Amino acid sequence: KMLRYYESKSITQKYQKYRPHYPVQLAEDALGNFKEKKLDFLLDVGCGGGQSVNIFAPYFHEVLAIDPSENQIKEARSQNKFAHVTYKQGIAEKLPCDDVSVDVITVGTAIHWLDRPKFYEEVTRVLKPNGRLIIFGYWSPEIVPLCLLNGDDTKLSEIGTQLLKNTFNHLTEWNSVFHERHSHVRDKYNQIFGEIPFPNKRRFDNKFMKYIWSLVDMKGMIQSVDSYETYMKSKELELKELSEQFVRSLKESWGCTEMENSDVKMQVVFNFFVLVADKPN
C-alpha cells in the first residue's frame, strides 16, 4: 500500500532546504532522444517540493506535478519558476490523467513509498505508446573533509561516510515498515527495476553530483528524514542525541572538535541511480 510520509510543514521546509538538487545531466540522459524536440506532457509523481520538476520542465510544453501532501504542494508552488508547470494534490494509485495522454512520467526518490502494483497499472493506462517511465533516487552520500581534496589519505572520508550511513540506518530501523521501504533505496532500486512491467528497460548508476556543505547542512539533512520527526515525540531525547552524536563523532574523527559546525566544510558526493522503461507501441 501507499505510505504517507514527509507531509508536515516543518519536514517539507527542511526537505526543500537541505536535500540535494538533482543534476541536469540526469534529465538529459534519462530523456535521451526524447529531448530532441519539446514533448507535450510530463507527469511528475510524488513531486515533493518540486526538485525533480525543475530539471525536466524545460523539455515539455506542459507539466503536471502531484503529491498527496498539501504542505509539499504549497512549498512547491512557492518555489515554482515555470508558467507551464502546475502543482496539485494527487496520488500515484489514481493518476489524474486521461488514458494514453502522457509522454513521460517521472518519480524522484518516491517510488518506494507507493503501492507499486497499482501505480504500474496507472502508468500503463496513462502513458502514450512508446511513452517513458523514469524512476530515480539516491542514498547516503560520500563525505570528504575539504582538507583531503588534494591528498591521498581517504581514511577520514571512509570514517565520515560510514558514520553517516550508520546514522541513516539507525533512523530507518526504528519502524519496520519504514525500514522495509527504505531497503529499496539502499538496494539502489534493483528489485523495483525487476518489477517494472515494460520489457524495454535499462538503468544508469554513474550519475554523480558534488556539493560543498558545512556540518550545519549535513545535520539539517539528517533531520529532514521523516522518521526523525515522526519519532521525535516518543524518543525526543534519543533523536536529539542521535544527530548530536553524529556531529561529535565526525568532529572527533576529523580532528576539528574546537571548530564551529558552520566552519566544518566537506565535499558531499551523491550517487544517483536512474531507471528508464518505455511502454510498448
pLDDT digit string (tens) for 195-246? 999 999 999 997 888 999 999 999 888 877 766 666 555 555 555 677 888 9
The three grid cell numbers given for residue 193, joined into one nine-digit string: 527495476
Q: Which CATH superfamily is domain 9-140+184-207+272-278 in?
A: Vaccinia Virus protein VP39 (3.40.50.150)
Q: Report whether 132 contacts 278 (CB < 8 A).
A: yes
The three grid cell numbers given for residue 281, joined into one nine-digit string: 507501441
Q: Which of 124-133, 173-182, 248-257 has the highest mean pLDDT?
A: 124-133
Mean pLDDT of 129-140: 94
The three grid cell numbers given for residue 48, joined into one nine-digit string: 515533493
Q: What separation in angstroms does the CA of 126 have from each of 12, 29, 65, 111, 245?
A: 28, 23, 14, 17, 47
State the Cα–Cα distance between residues 6 and 8, nearest whole angstrom.
6
CA atoms within a 13 Å half-sphere pointing along the CA-CB vector of 203: 16
Predicted local distance difference test score (pLDDT) of residue 61: 98
CA atoms within a 13 Å half-sphere pointing along the CA-CB vector of 60: 27
Tell me the sheet residues that pair with 41: 62
Predicted local distance difference test score (pLDDT) of residue 3: 45
Predicted local distance difference test score (pLDDT) of residue 152: 55
What residue ranges of the chain are covered by domains with CATH 3.40.50.150?
9-140+184-207+272-278
pLDDT in tens, 104-134: 999 998 999 899 999 999 999 999 999 999 9
pTM for the whole structure:
0.87
Instruction: Please state whether beta strands 85-89 and 142-145 pair in parallel, antiparallel, or not at all (unpaired).
Output: unpaired
